[in-house]
Amino acid sequence: MIKKAGILGGGQLGRMLLQAAANYPVETYVLENDAECPAAHLCHHFELGDIRDFDAVYTFGKKVDVLTIEIENVNVEALEKLEAEGLKIIPRPSVLRTIKNKILQKQYYQQHQIPGAPFIITQNREELAQHADFLPAVHKIGEGGYDGKGVQLLREQADIAKGFDAPAVLEKMVDIHKEIAQTVAISESGATALYPPVEMLFDPTLNLLDYQLCPAELSTQTLYRVEAIALTVARNFKSPGLFAVEMFIDKNGDVQVNETAPRVHNSGHHTIEAHYSSQFDMLWRIMLNYPLGSTDAILPSIMVNIIGTDGHSGPVKYEGLEEVLKIENAFIHLYGKKETRPGRKMGHVTILSNEKQELLHQSNRIKHTLLPKA
């Protein structure tokens, strides 16, 4: 029997999930409040509605056999009711409840002895001001902080005015050597598979997270530590699903967990071409109760996010597309967004090569050639 699967959210992650769904016997449903969203035209059934609304999510959930998310900002109460009524939801709503709120998320790590930067919980700015001696630190709003809007670096007392006047986590500033992410897959029966960790490479001039190298360059000792931590983070959620665990390696070589996304994630885009089973393929295997796929890399890779060019807002035209299409080891993904805006994720390109120099060369070239402009 063909299963009906629902996705809450219709962005690029939903779109790529649907591309992978085309290989399986599954009928797909998407809920999103924008009929022109990236996933709208790739699913069997598109439903217009707000993923944060109880009734919209509940009604949508009643139409499917299995449900997943592509963003955490969904109505968890509706998911809890659906789960109580027997619907399979991946990840479980309890995971979303914990992860949606950064205070609960940090407390979860603490409860499970998962290493992370020391933190204090602050209810408002007045309380924050009492902790000036804890700076330098990073203030992270508990709920509703998306697209980098929920994080403020507080270096000194004068920065406290920039802090959030709402429940938040005040976390010690980590002296970061590397930012990495590792995705863990967990099946319904509890089988696990780990993708190799990826390493974020920053553009020093723009200070943007621009490139992502796979596999991350780590000592064997650090790799084992990272894998053990990522597995502990994911397993303790007691839920099937995909878990992208973001970690810092600090200047002492210690591993600190930053946050986890219980879903397909930007840090796994390269797996489409660079790994035997992509993160999207893997999530279908989990949802449809098939064996987990192989997480092994076919070749090392770099993924470049294609971001809306500064000073350009409006209907998009891709400058440099033909030139990039001529690069034989580059795989181009444009997300079908009609409008570009500065900083908007418009697509990504994955480059495959055994040579790191070639990966770096081509990724830089692509970053400066393929430009979404209005």
Question: Where along the sequence are the contacts to ligand ADP (CB under 6 A)?
Answer: 117, 138, 140, 148, 150-151, 171, 173-174, 176, 179, 258-259
Contacts of 321 (CB under 8 A, 6+ apart): 332, 370
211 is written with which tokens? 């490139």
User: Shortest approach of ligand ADP to residue 209 CB, angstroms?
Assistant: 7
Residue 59 CA from chain centroid, whole number = 26
User: Shortest approach of ligand ADP to residue 246 CB, angstroms?
Assistant: 6
Closer residue to ligand ADP (CB): 53 or 159: 159
Closer residue to ligand ADP (CB): 50 or 259: 259
Closer residue to ligand ADP (CB): 14 or 116: 116
User: Shortest approach of ligand ADP to residue 145 CB, angstroms?
Assistant: 6
Closer residue to ligand ADP (CB): 140 or 285: 140
Closer residue to ligand ADP (CB): 117 or 282: 117
User: Shortest approach of ligand ADP to residue 138 CB, angstroms?
Assistant: 4
Q: Are 349 and 370 in contact (CB under 8 A)?
A: yes
Closer residue to ligand ADP (CB): 160 or 174: 174
109 is written with which tokens? 């790590």
Query: 147: left (phi > 0), else alpha (psi -120 to 50), else beta?
Result: left
Contacts made by residues 122-128, CB under 8 angstroms, sequence distance 24+:
122/163, 122/164, 122/167, 122/168, 122/169, 122/170, 123/166, 123/167, 124/165, 124/166, 124/167, 125/160, 125/161, 125/163, 125/164, 125/165, 128/160, 128/163, 128/164, 128/168, 128/170
User: Shortest approach of ligand ADP to residue 175 CB, angstroms?
Assistant: 8
User: Shortest approach of ligand ADP to residue 179 CB, angstroms?
Assistant: 6
Q: Which residue is nearest to ligand ADP (CB)?
A: 174
Q: Are 179 and 200 in contact (CB under 8 A)?
A: yes
